A and B are shown apart, each in its own frame.
Chain A
Amino acid sequence: MHDEADETIERIAAALRPLPDVDPAQRARVLVAVAAERERDRERRATRARTIRILGTASTVLAAGLVGALWMRASVPAPTAPRATVAVAASPAVATPSMESPTEARLATHGADGISLQRVQLVFRAPAARHVAVVGDFNGWDVTATSMSRDPATGMWSQTVALRPGRHVYAFVVDDSVWMRDPRTPAAPDADFGRPGSVLLVGQP
């Protein structure tokens, strides 16, 4: 019995205590939302690590550029443009492929942060499906973000996605309800909350 409670308060509390019915789909949505948060967190950590690496490289190049510029200034009477030298050298990963391989450059695009993205075609066989979407760390596990197109002749669903180099986890969602992993790629060992996923490794362009 609670301190302030009398018979009326006890009756009120008793009427409010029964637990509500839980919609299993809603519980599943909670776990999907948490899985998406987990992937976003991984992505944030990976971005931070990349930023630190890029900053580290940039500062090394900047320091080398400054030393070079000072040396040039001391040895050559005409001044050079050290800032332009540094800007080109600071992003070699972006600049190199487009110079060395024009074919790859057509396939690769660039993300908002300047990192090269590789176009990868994902294919999934589901002739009886009405709708198939691909979800993964690259689209925030959003079921509505990347729908796939069906080839009526083969029953194959396909979609091309632009991915950063590195490891990606993804799955297919059939008819907005059934999660399936890609049988052609390795299963993700850390499948979230029992939902199947596949691992895709994307190399540097």
Chain B
Amino acid sequence: MNPPRPLKLLKPAARTATPPPEAASAVERSLLVRAAQRGDVRAFASLVDAYYARCLRFALHMLSSRGDAEEAVQDTFVRVYRALPAYVEQESFEPWLFRILANRCRSAGARERRRAEFVEFGDVPERPSERRHDESIAWREEIELALAALPPEQREAFLMRHVEDLSYEDMAIATGAGISALKMRVKRACDFLRLRLTEDDDARRS
């Protein structure tokens, strides 16, 4: 009779059975997209739930009015629904969604700028109010003003990169611009914001 073979110590598997939360969420979203493509309206509603707040955040930073931002996001989801049958899963869903959203924001932004031509400068405070006391609110308002002063394509690139955490490859899908052009836009946006907000910070402290 052969002696029993010694137990072999197994190394922990390189891949664990439970995927990390982000991966699980990515898989889940991919399943939702596929189900929505097949016409499952509940899956589409779940996609709206998953992305609505992010889309609204982007639209609010791109547009000055909440109403316009909400309208742009609503229009985005209607267009996503219409375009879903043509969506191919080789490109990831997020940049595809952001491409539609960015287009809607660009159109709404152009309308806002046309409307703004009829507003006299005296009606709108160019600088934040002197009455503010809360430091964090003041900082936030300074940022919003500085962001609004950026050319739309730089603002869009900055938000996608630093707020939405998209890679340059995904940004290229979302904007249709080349990666080097996008890097340049982000760099210029960063230079402008750094300069403007550092000055504001110094002025506030002095």
Binding site for B on A (CB under 8 A): 2, 4-6, 8-9, 11-13, 15-20, 22-23, 26-27, 29-31, 33-35, 37-38, 41, 190, 192-194
Contact = CB atoms under 8 A, between A and B. Distances in A.
A193 B57 contact: no
Given A27-B48, A31-B45, A34-B81, A16 B163 contact: yes
Contacts of A16: 57, 61, 143, 147, 159, 162-163
Given A4-B190, A33-B74, A34-B77, 16 more contacts: A4-B161, A5-B162, A8-B193, A8-B197, A9-B162, A9-B190, A16-B147, A19-B56, A20-B53, A20-B60, A23-B70, A30-B73, A30-B78, A31-B48, A34-B81, A35-B41
Nearest to B193: A12
Given A27-B48, A27-B52, A190-B41, A9 B77 contact: no
A34 B133 CA distance: 43
Contact of B74 (A6, A29, A41): A29
Majority-rule SS of B interface residues? helix
Interface residues of B, number: 35
A4 to B, nearest CB: 5
Contacts of B60: 20
A128 to B, nearest CB: 30
A22 B56 contact: yes
Contacts of B113: none
B80 to A, nearest CB: 9
A9 B143 CA distance: 10
B41 A38 contact: yes
A29 B75 CA distance: 11
A17 B163 contact: yes
A20 B197 contact: no
Nearest to A41: B82
Nearest to A23: B70
B42 interface: yes
Given A2-B161, A22-B53, A31-B48, A192 B41 contact: yes
B77 A26 contact: no
A37 B41 CA distance: 12
B163 A8 contact: no
B30 to A, nearest CB: 20
B54 interface: yes
B198 interface: yes
- Top 10 closest pairs, chain A to chain B, by CB: A13-B162, A19-B53, A34-B81, A4-B190, A30-B74, A16-B163, A193-B45, A8-B194, A37-B78, A30-B77
A19 B53 CA distance: 6
A18 B186 CA distance: 20
Contacts of B41: 35, 38, 190, 192-193
A34 B44 CA distance: 9
A9 B162 CA distance: 8
Contacts of A194: 42, 45
Contacts of A35: 41
A12 B197 contact: yes
Interface in B147-163: 147, 159, 161-163
A37 B82 contact: yes
Contacts of B45: 31, 193-194
